[in-house]
Amino acid sequence: MIHQGQPHPGERHSRRRALALMGAGVLAFSATQLSPRLAMARGLERPKSLITVWLSGGPSQLETWDPHPGGKIGGPTQAIETSIPGARICEWYPQTAAILKDFCVVRSVVSKEGDHERGTYVVRTGFRPEPTVVHPSLGSIVYHELPRGNLEIPGHVSLGDGPFATKGGYLGEEATAFRVFDPGRNLQNLEAPVEAPRHARRLESLGKLSESFLEGRRHQIASSLHQKTIDAALKMMTSEQLKAFSLEEEPAALQAAYGDNSFGRGCLVARRLVETGVRAIDVTLNGFDTHANNFGLCKSQAGYLDPALASLVNDLKSRDLWNSTVVLVCGEFGRTPQINPLDGRDHWPNGFSLLLGGGGLASGRVLGATDPEGKKPPENPIEIPQIMATVLHVLGIDFHKEISTPIGRPIRLSTGSPATDLLATT
């Protein structure tokens, strides 16, 4: 059982880590770029963001968005009607059923990787692992390609304790997600451990030491971005935008609606980060590796996912953020139609489900179908690169853009093309 309220024993947010993750990108802002709120006040289009709700472990499609009750593969799981006419989902998701019309349900996702780490890599990046290159995650691409305005906090944030970090790959460490293991709690080591006068003297001494070190090394120091990262970290430590990570200003009733657990708080923090101008946020819910006791564990996980996801969608809509925020709900693969002797389901990349909505995407559609007997391939299979290209496209990113890696290797951001049925213009 995953206890969502327990803090991660290794949680650390050092200023050194902040330096590495913020990089020079935080400071490379144009003075003419506006915050999301100011942009809306001036009648401009709100910049877009991505929230990935990551269901770690491989969520069973049959116990979430694609149940087949009454048959051999369905087990005891029952289905309920949703706000999409004719589309039924697992009975343990009544709140999600009410807001399902805001999503597209993709029931025919296919992948070639059934291992947790490799499967995560494929769904996160759109590429299979290679020994010669590390591809950036979808969130890292979004961070790298979209403007960040006057943001003073990390532009790519991972909320929750996932086993595989979302990496910047060949885009660099600054594109790797800033990790917050227990969302909604105070961040660690972002306040000076001494009183202000002593802190000021320390900074003055650091400045003198840095200036001395510059002598004869200005080119090397400039290429390392050393001073810029120090400046970025100091700006972050004193920024009002850090409040986006805190829930003190949120009404108790809203916090309760999301759920008083790490995942629920993470989803609420994600909404606050979008409001502040963060471009890419992951929220992780662990516990879907259900080789044994699949039905009990899936029901338990629904208790976290259902209220938090529904609250997130309703909250984004109420704040006029839904049409500028893409929400992707997925895991690394699905679960076998066959129920094993431990009353569990095993790894299944051959036809699983995800939800995709917001950001100007189509809504209220169900794509693909799986065999109720679990024997035939899914109808209208959709590959991961298509999902990647679709998300990048609606975010205004050229999904076929070619990036040169640090060793000079040209690689496209995606090898797929958008799935036209997911686009609102079709």
Domain for residue 219, yes or no?
no
The domain containing residue 339 runs over which residues? Answer: 34-186+244-422
- What pLDDT is stored for residue 22 in this prediction? 43
Max intra-chain CA distance, the chain: 76
- What pLDDT is stored for residue 239 in this prediction? 86
Q: Is 137 exposed, middle or buried (0-12, 13-18, 19+ CB in 10 A)?
A: buried
CATH number at residue 68: 3.40.720.10
Domain for residue 12, yes or no?
no
- What pLDDT is stored for residue 157 in this prediction? 96
Distance between CA atoms of residues 191 and 188, nearest Å: 8
The total number of structural domains that make up the chain:
1
Q: How many CB atoms lie within 10 A of CB 226?
A: 15
Domain for residue 394, yes or no?
yes
Are 394 and 359 a contacting pair, CB within 8 Å? yes
Q: Output the six-digit token pair for 414.
A: 């995606």
Instruction: Point out the residues of the chain with pLDDT beneath 70.
Output: 1-44, 186, 188-196, 199-200, 203-204, 213, 215-216, 218-235, 426
Domain for residue 159, yes or no?
yes
Domain for residue 147, yes or no?
yes
Distance between CA atoms of residues 220 and 230, nearest Å: 16
Domain for residue 67, yes or no?
yes
pTM to 2 decimals? 0.85
CA 358 to chain CA centroid, nearest Å: 14
- What pLDDT is stored for residue 3 in this prediction? 42
Closest alpha carbon to 355 in 298, 312, 398, 400: 312
Distance between CA atoms of residues 97 and 85, nearest Å: 11
pLDDT in tens, 96-120: 999 999 999 999 999 999 999 999 9
Instruction: Assign 3-state DSSP to the chain and report helix, strand, coil percentages, each to 5.
Output: 40, 15, 45
Domain for residue 412, yes or no?
yes
- What contacts 424, CB < 8 A, 6 or more positions away? 360, 361, 362, 363
Q: Output the six-digit token pair for 233.
A: 């970290």
Distance between CA atoms of residues 60 and 335, nearest Å: 5
Cα-based distances in Å from 299 to 100, 294, 404: 19, 9, 45
Closest alpha carbon to 421 in 376, 382, 371: 382
- What pLDDT is stored for residue 294 in this prediction? 98
Domain for residue 203, yes or no?
no
Q: What is the DSSP letter of 71?
A: S
- What pLDDT is stored for residue 20 in this prediction? 45
